Amino acid sequence: MHLTILLVGVAALMAANAQQDSSNCETSCGNLTITYPFGSGEGCFYSSDFLVTCNRSSGEPIPYFRKSNIIISNISTDKSEMEIKASVGSDCYNSSGPTESRFPNIRLGNVRISAKNKFVAIGCDTNAYFIGKRGNEVDGTGCTSTCGRKSLLRNGTCSGVGCCEVAVPEGLRSSNMTIRSFNNHTNITDFNPCSYGFFVEQGKFNFSTTNLLGFRQRMPMLLDWGIGNLTCDDAKDTDNFLCSGNSECDQDYDGPGYRCRCKEGYEGNPYVKDACKNINECERGNHECDHDDQCVDTDGGYMCTCRKGYSGDGRKDGAGCTADQSTLIKIVVGISASAIFLLIFVTWLYLILKKRKLIMLREKFFKQNGGIMLQQRISRDGGSHDQAKVFTIEELKRATNNYDDSRIIGKGGYGTVYKGVLSDNRIVAIKRSKLGDQTQAQIEQFINEVVILSQINHRNVVKLFGCCLETEIPLLVYEFIPNGTLSDHIHNKGKSSAFTWDIRLRIATETAEALSYLHSAASVPIIHRDVKPMNILLDDNYVAKVADFGASKLIPIDQIELATIVQGTLGYLDPEYLQTNQLTDKSDVYSFGVVLVELLTGKKALSFDRPETERNLAIYFLYSLKEGKLFQVLDENLQLNDVPSEIIQVSKLAERCLCVKSDERPTMKEVAIELQGILTSMVHKHPWVQSNSNEDEGEYLLKELTNDYERTNDDNVSSSTFDTMSKHTMLPIANGR
């Protein structure tokens, strides 16, 4: 009897193996691929649990599980799973009562409901549950779904409001579903006439509130399957054991039955002999070798190699490949030589590019700062005998210690002035304009100052040594005048007390001589246009130096006036120029008249701290002079008991300079001559001239003053003729630049 049973089993196995490879077995039904142990047709499946019935009567073939109405949508042999389209149970009502109840039951044999499913119930008055068998045991579960307030309904969640879900116990081979209503859907049949219950693969159902109105569809559900009822250890000794060749029995599967899987490094159908084929990890890039070209495919795996001159396991997670000693020396020498060459090349290239970039940047700034314009204006005169030097930015950085704050000697609306020491130990003042938008008018103004100062050679005009156009901010280099501005000495209480009348008169005379030279002795007349104490510098011997020619204008010889935009400092502006925009040399005369009044009174030209009648110094001075109150407005630091004749003469001269009509004002040459006469007269009357011990010194001083004046008026310094009709943008009138 035992022999007979054995022969029958062997025959069944031979028939099964013969049929699974037979061309008579169907490999597909509709969209489903049928793979062994499943099959359609006699002898094409392992057992009745794996029968696939393909129904072609309704047009599109439909695969059913065995001879049931369960539709199969997918079969997976590597996971030993089967996906079916599960029916949805329902329990429906209307205002009259129940209308429909459908409770689908599932009978699976040795196939089980996967624990990867969820049991879901939909409804507002729903209690759904199922009961199934696991071997000889009965198990089941369910959930309750209500709605309460409709506002609590949320799409995408099954938390018990409109939808609930529960985990499926593992190992069930059947299911009997039951769906009940608590209140027969009373008062909610309009938006939820039915309760629904179904199994669905986890993650493949997303609740929507519209499901409450109707839910008629099949849901994807997973089933687990195994071969027979024996475990791996028991089945491997049987004649119909399917895990052979490159497949092995899955020891992690706890039954019932057993499952096959392809060995590591193989893929395919583990239930068919020799269907598990080798995976080429090298081609797929699924390896741990250092490089793809070091990967060598083997049957069921791969190995990593090292190229010539290297040794090791060649794996990323291992020792990798290391160079042999001789190879290592060659590599080190080669890398070192290459690195040195590359470093030298990169350094050389960097220096070349940096130098080129620096040259291009300097050319850009040179053009931006009016370098071409400066060259053109100088070339019109054929070049100057005493041209200003063009300094490099490195020279000026060294001179100012890279523009250190300790070198700052002045700040204003125009920018900052630094004290610098050149390489030849000359002390200079370096004017650094404020960084801002480089308008054409500003560039013209800067070039204007360079051109004017470069052609002036007068002891009472600040000397321009040169300029620098290589930086974003244009720079001017002047002689250094150490004693500050005339404004400092007039208005600083600590200095004004020592600022005697004879010093003030001499400074006024020197300033007038400088302006007279600019108006009449220069080859091209120059109007300063911003005469004020701030622009008159003093050296250690209180010698006056007229400075700041940024607002100046050159007047062609055949013209006596220019139409310009008004520019200057409030309080010093010629009222006629302010009204007509017609600039003449008499505009400087008016401004100089205000300077004379400041020297006499020690007061600022314009101050809103004074009473309204005294705010404008020029008007207040003329009023006081007319009313015979000159003594009351004179600077108390002069320490006068009465008004000397020299002060009266200077006051009368200031009055003439301050005439509203320019025709009634004297020229600067006339002003200089008159001041020189007053100074000469005062020197003759000075006590030191009448003292025997100081007689030679007084005569020497008088002679020097006279010679200086004659020398100033006889000098004929060559200058260039420049186009003065270029437009100038009006700068802020408050800061005078």
pLDDT more than 90, % of the chain? 39
DSSP 518: I
Residue 445 CB contacts under 8 Å (≥ 6 apart), including other chains: 550, 551, 728, 729, 731
Q: What is the pLDDT of residue 221?
A: 95
Q: What is the pLDDT of residue 475?
A: 85
Q: Which residue is catalytic, options 530, 548, 585, 588?
A: 530
CATH topology (fold) of 486-665: Transferase(Phosphotransferase); domain 1 (1.10.510)
Q: What is the pLDDT of residue 686?
A: 57
Residue 531 CB contacts under 8 Å (≥ 6 apart), including other chains: 511, 515, 546, 572, 588, 591, 592, 595
The answer to whether residue 714 scores a pLDDT higher than 60 is no
Pairing of strands 389-390, 464-468: parallel
For the stretch 485-493, contacts whose Cβ atoms lie closer than 8 Å and that sit 24 or more positions apart, written own/partner, are 485/533, 485/534, 485/535, 485/536, 485/537, 485/538, 486/533, 486/534, 486/536, 486/537, 486/538, 486/544, 486/595, 487/532, 487/533, 487/534, 487/536, 489/538, 490/533, 490/598, 490/599, 490/602, 491/602, 491/604
The answer to whether residue 727 scores a pLDDT higher than 90 is no
Mean pLDDT over 570-591 rounds to: 90
The angle formed by the CA atoms of residues 23, 27 and 28, to the nearest 5 degrees, is: 145
Q: What is the pLDDT of residue 641?
A: 81
Considering 25-34, 324-333, 489-498, the range whose residues carry the highest mean pLDDT is 25-34
Q: pLDDT: is 120 or 390 the higher one?
A: 120
Residues 260, 270 contacting (CB under 8 angstroms): yes
Task: Give CA separation, 709 vs 533, 649, 677, in Å.
Answer: 22, 19, 11
Q: Residue 294's pLDDT band (boundaries 50, 70, 90)?
A: confident
Residue range 95-105, pLDDT digits in tens = 777 888 889 88
Catalytic residue flag (residue 530):
yes
Give the N- to C-terminal CA distance of the chain in Å, as an integer. 127
Residues 262, 78 contacting (CB under 8 angstroms): yes
Residue 86 burial (CB count, 10 A): 23
The answer to whether residue 532 scores a pLDDT higher than 50 is yes
Residue 136 CB contacts under 8 Å (≥ 6 apart), including other chains: none
Residue in 523, 542, 679, 656 with CA at minimum distance from that of residue 592: 656
Q: pLDDT: is 663 or 314 the higher one?
A: 663
The answer to whether residue 381 scores a pLDDT higher than 80 is no
The domain ranges of the chain are 1-76, 81-224, 371-479, 486-665
User: What CA–CA distance (Å, rounded) separates 499 from 635?
Assistant: 11
Q: In 602-694, where does DSSP find H-type helix?
A: 617-626, 630-633, 645-657, 668-685, 687-690
Residue numbers belonging to the annotated binding site for ATP:
431
Q: What is the pLDDT of residue 412?
A: 66
Residue range 383-424, pLDDT digits in tens = 555 566 778 888 999 999 999 999 998 876 567 889 999 999
The answer to whether residue 369 scores a pLDDT higher than 80 is no
Q: In what order do the strands lie in the sheet containing 408-412?
A: 389-390, 464-468, 475-479, 427-433, 415-421, 408-412
Q: What is the pLDDT of residue 144?
A: 94
Beta strands in 210-354 (DSSP E): 219-224, 247-249, 260-262, 266-267, 277-278, 295-298, 301-304, 310-312, 321-323
The answer to whether residue 722 scores a pLDDT higher than 50 is no
User: What CA–CA distance (Å, rounded) separates 462 from 545?
Assistant: 5
Pairing of strands 52-55, 62-65: antiparallel
Tokens of 572: 């010093």
Q: Residue 723's pLDDT band (boundaries 50, 70, 90)?
A: very low
Residue range 147-164, pLDDT digits in tens = 877 778 888 889 889 999
Residue numbers belonging to the annotated binding site:
431
Residue 628 burial (CB count, 10 A): 8
Residue range 199-253, pLDDT digits in tens = 999 999 999 989 988 888 899 999 999 998 888 989 988 888 999 889 999 998 8
Residue 510 CB contacts under 8 Å (≥ 6 apart), including other chains: 460, 543, 544
Residue 713, CA atoms < 13 Å, CB-side half-sphere = 15
User: What CA–CA distance (Å, rounded) separates 534 from 539?
Assistant: 14
In this structure, CATH architecture of domain 371-479? 2-Layer Sandwich (3.30)
Residue 36 CB contacts under 8 Å (≥ 6 apart), including other chains: 20, 44, 45, 46, 77, 269, 271, 272
Q: What is the pLDDT of residue 449?
A: 67
pTM of the model: 0.48
Residues 507, 536 contacting (CB under 8 angstroms): yes
List the single range of 520-529, 650-659, 660-669, 681-690 with lowest mean pLDDT: 681-690
pLDDT more than 70, % of the chain? 83
Residues 391, 423 contacting (CB under 8 angstroms): no
Q: pLDDT: is 713 or 58 the higher one?
A: 58
Q: What is the pLDDT of residue 184?
A: 78
Q: What is the pLDDT of residue 414?
A: 63
Q: What is the pLDDT of the chain when averaged over all its residues?
A: 81
